[in-house]
Every structure is written in C-alpha cells, then in structure tokens.
Structure 1
Amino acid sequence: MQTIESDITTEIYQGQFGTFTITDRDRQSVIIYRSALMVAAISFAIGTIAVLSQWGNSESNNANVLTAITILYIIFSVALGIALATIHIYMAVLHRTLQVFWAIGCMSAIGFSLYYQQPIGSIVYEQPLTILGVGFTFAALTGIFFKEAFCFNRLETKILTFLVPGLLLGHLINILPQSIEAILLASWAILFSIFAIRKAIQAIPPDIGDKSVFEYLKASG
C-alpha cells in the first residue's frame, strides 16, 4: 500500500487493484478493533493474576476468585467478539470461520456453566474435555495472532500462535505439570498485553490494509 497523492484532508493510496482512500469510518473501525483487543488483553491478564495468586487459600476467597474470573471471562469474550467483528482480513471465509469459532466457544461456555453449575474457570480446570468446546474461543483468538504475525511479523504473536494451542492441548490430554501450565499461562498474558500495547501505538492505515483487494474480492466473489 503506497500513498500517491495527499492534501490537507485526503490521502490517496495505490493498491494492488487500484487507488483508494481511507475514511473516518475505516479509522474508527481500527480504533474499535484495537480498543477491544486492549480490553480483552487486560481482562485476560487480570484473570491470570487472579488464578496464579489464588487470592488466599480460604473457601470464601476462592469463591471470590472464581466469581471474578467468570466476570473477566465474559468481558474477555465480548471484547474478542467485537475485535473479530472489526478486524480487517482479506479472506472472507477465514474471517467468518473465526467468528463462528468464537460463537461456538461462547455457546459452549454457557452450556457447560448451566450443566455443571460451576464458574467457567473451575469447569475448564477440573473438566479438561470441556476445552473441546470452550477452546473454540481461543482458536479464534489464535487466528488473530496468526493474522497479525503474518501481516506484521510480530514476534509476540508468532510465539502466541503456538503457545496458546500448546497450552490448551497440553491441559486437555493432561501432559503438562501444573508449574509448566502456570508459566505458559503467565507468558500468554504478558505477550498478549505486549501485543495489545504495540497495536495501540501502531499507525492506523496498515491495519486497514489494501482496500482495493477487498473490493476486488467482493466483486469477484
């Protein structure tokens, strides 16, 4: 994407299939996407701290931790859904697939919560097979990491693309010691936060991408 003309109000970019401009609506969608990622990263980080610190050992404190984690998971899921609604991905099929994954994961979390009558955090920890449902949400998140790694060559998203499924699979088949799971979870939270912060200070046009490609794909599809 290359700027070929500019004035006080408008920049015209040369895309692969023609020229295009970036509108205020385009910029707003990027801001919403990045804000949603930031909210998701913060809620995930706080939830991770809550899990790892345990907030004390009494039953009441543990109940408070589980309640807080449930609330944070809801915030994380909603924010991720908003990010998936506003992300710019050239392949419409991939975009829709990630949104479907997110929906399956959310419905699974609701279904398991109603079935087990427990907070989602304890369900996933005590019933690893539930990852086969809830894990779709994190598959959608991994899709974002993969897209960002591919488009922007970010080290943290390259690591997360493998770390997230690795941790979930390891917990699912029960091959990871609790100490390793804790290290991987903490690494996930840290790298996710770094990613969200770096996105917040990145120039907006690259996140919009080549709009001429979107138009071409729309016309030919």
Structure 2
Amino acid sequence: MATATVLLPSAFATAPPIPTTKTLPIRNASSSKVYLLRFPSSSSSSYSFSSKLTFRKGLIKCKALRETSRDSFNGRTVYQGVYGPWAVDPSDVREVILYRIGLVTAAVSFIIAASTAFLPDGNILADIVKQDLDLFYALGTGGLGLSLYLIHIYVTEIKQTLQALWAFGVIGSLATYFSLAQPVGISLAEYVVENPTAVWFVGPLFAALTGLVFKEGLCYGKLEAGLLTFNIPTVLLGHLTGLMDDGVKLGLLGSWMALFLVFAARKFTQPIKDDIGDKSIFMFNALPEREKKALLEKLEQQKLISER
C-alpha cells in the first residue's frame, strides 16, 4: 500500500470533530492509493494558511493553484494548496508518467492506423498497417483507458463519466467487431469507414477522448487540446451524417493526427505537479462529509479573521 503524508495547516487542528493528533487513512478520490492525512497540533505546525479561497459550494476551479509558498519537507518541495501544503511523492510521479505514456500510446496507435487513409493503394507500408488495424485499435483503446484511470480530475463524477463512456465504447467496439466486421473479413476500422452508422457503437470511446482533451485544454490553456475538442466530434459526426465529402474528412483527419501528436508530445514538457493538480483537494474530497463540513467552517472563520 503506497502512502503519502499531507500536512494541513494548524488552523485545522482545532476544527471539531477532528482531534489535533489524529491520523486518518483515506483513499485518494482520483486513484486507488491510500494516504495518511495528518493534522498537526497548533504548537508544532510551522505552516499558515495563505491561499485565497476560490471555491463556491460544490465547485472548485479545475486548474491547479499556482505555487504560493515553497518549503522543504523530507527533501521534497512543498506546494501550498487550497486545503494545506502538499508534496509530490514517488508514487505520484509514477502515476503521471503512466498517464502520459497512455496518451502517447493512444496517439501513436491512432496516427499509424489513420495514415492508411493517405497512403496509395498497393503501398507496402499501407498493406502492413492494414493487416494490423485491429491491433492498433486495441493498443490505442488500452492507452486511453490507462490515462482515464489515472487522470486527476477534482470532480469525481466527471472522471467516472469519462470512464463509463470509455467502457461503453469498448463494449460497442467488441460487439461491432465480432458480430459485423469479422463475419465479412475486414477490420473494425474498415467496417466503420464503410458503414457510417457504426459510429454509434464506437462513438462513446471517442467521446471519452474528447472529454480528456477538453479537460487538458481547459486546465492548461493548450491550443492543440482546444482544437481537438472540436475536431474529433466534427470528423465523426460528418462521417455519421454523410454531410461531409471525402476531401474535407481527409483534411480534418490529417489535422486530427497532427494535433494529437503535438498534444501527446507536449505532455512531457509540463512539470509533474501540473498533472497532479492540487493534491490537498483530493485529500479533502476523500474525507467523510461531516469532516468536510467542519473544515469548510474553519476555513470560513479564517477568511473572516484575515479580512478584518
């Protein structure tokens, strides 16, 4: 069991019903890891709450807070979050790297498979790729699933919705492959290209991808992610409805490939802490409702005191 320690400010130490020396084992809302959440006593804590409260009831901004204070805790940099200081643990680094590897796997698999639309018939490379289209589809689907499992989203319901869309897309893809594509001896991707109505079955998978890139664009202001948010559904809906000619579809498909590659590559230029977000929020979300309420009341008291 991986453990991490998040120190909350001394203002929380006296918040009922949490004792000042209490250590709570809690589960991270964004993964299966268990953390030990400690509430230091007011006499031993060297931290003070300096972040402005930017949340409303039931709503917290998506973007991780900028660094408001830095210190050293067991050799690690400490960041000030909404609910207290936190540090990046080795397990956090592993999760973020796996999240990014999942995105790269999805992007590369999609680009290789989609390249057959631009290669001439009889091309050796195109023939090799067409023989393994189902393999690339499976690899891309698995990579996307890994990223959706590890993605850090403050609102758990949104994360679960994206994961459910992915699951429906997998079920629809398998059903389409075994009941429709395989009997006629073609790959799933080829069947969807030749039968636009099949988009209904595989569409949820790409809806989950659209949600992921939308989150990335919203949180980090990435242009390529914002463009992908519109590009992906446009291509699929254009193919489904038949209102888009092949030339336009190829142009949009090519831009999808280029944007997806840039999107996946640029993930490795971000600091690890950006993909983690504000870890103190995940710790807060994992607390029982009674203790959440107590902490929020204490924060409001601190805010009122600081405004005087």
**Over 3 Å off, 4+ runs:** 60-66
Query: 1:185 maps to what in 2?
Result: 253
Structure (1/2) with the larger helix percentage: 1
Query: 1:209 maps to what in 2?
Result: 277
Query: 1:198 maps to what in 2?
Result: 266
Q: Provide the secondary structure at the position in 2 that maps to 1:219.
A: coil
1:199 and 1:12 mapped to 2: Cα distance?
Answer: 22
Change (3 A) 1:53 1:62: closer
2:153 and 2:193 mapped to 1: Cα distance?
Answer: 33
1:206 and 1:130 mapped to 2: Cα distance?
Answer: 37
Q: Which has the higher contact order (CA 8 A, sep 6+)?
A: 1
1:163-215 deviation line (CA, Å, top 9, x unaligned): 10111011110011111111111110110000111101211111100011112
Report the alpha carbon displacement of residue 8 of structure 1 after superposing the two structures with TM.
7.3
| TM-score (structure 1 length as normaliser) | 0.93
1:213 and 1:220 mapped to 2: Cα distance?
Answer: 13
**Which deviates more, 41-50 or 160-169?**
41-50
Which of 52, 57, 69 matches 2:118? Answer: 52
Query: 1:13 maps to what in 2?
Result: 79
| Within-5 A mapping of 1:67-216 | 67-116=131-180, 117=182, 118-216=186-284
1:23 and 1:64 mapped to 2: Cα distance?
Answer: 43
Is the 1:66–1:121 contact (alpha carbons within 8 Å) kept by the matching residues of 2? no
Q: Which runs of 5+ in 2 are unaligned?
A: 1-64, 290-308
Is the 1:146–1:158 contact (alpha carbons within 8 Å) kept by the matching residues of 2? yes
Q: Which runs of 5+ in 1 are unaligned?
A: none
Aligned residues: 219
Larger radius of gyration: 2
**Amino acid across the alignment from 2:98:** I
| TM-score (structure 2 length as normaliser) | 0.67
Query: 2:104 maps to what in 1?
Result: 38
Query: 2:19 maps to what in 1?
Result: none
CA RMSD in angstroms comes to 1.9
Q: Provide the secondary structure at the position in 2 that maps to 1:88.
A: coil
Report the alpha carbon displacement of residue 123 of structure 1 after superposing the two structures with TM.
1.3
Query: 1:4 maps to what in 2?
Result: 70
1:59-100 deviation line (CA, Å, top 9, x unaligned): x99775433222111110011111111111111111011111
Q: Provide the secondary structure at the position in 1 that maps to 2:118.
A: helix
2:71 and 2:203 mapped to 1: Cα distance?
Answer: 46
Identity %: 36
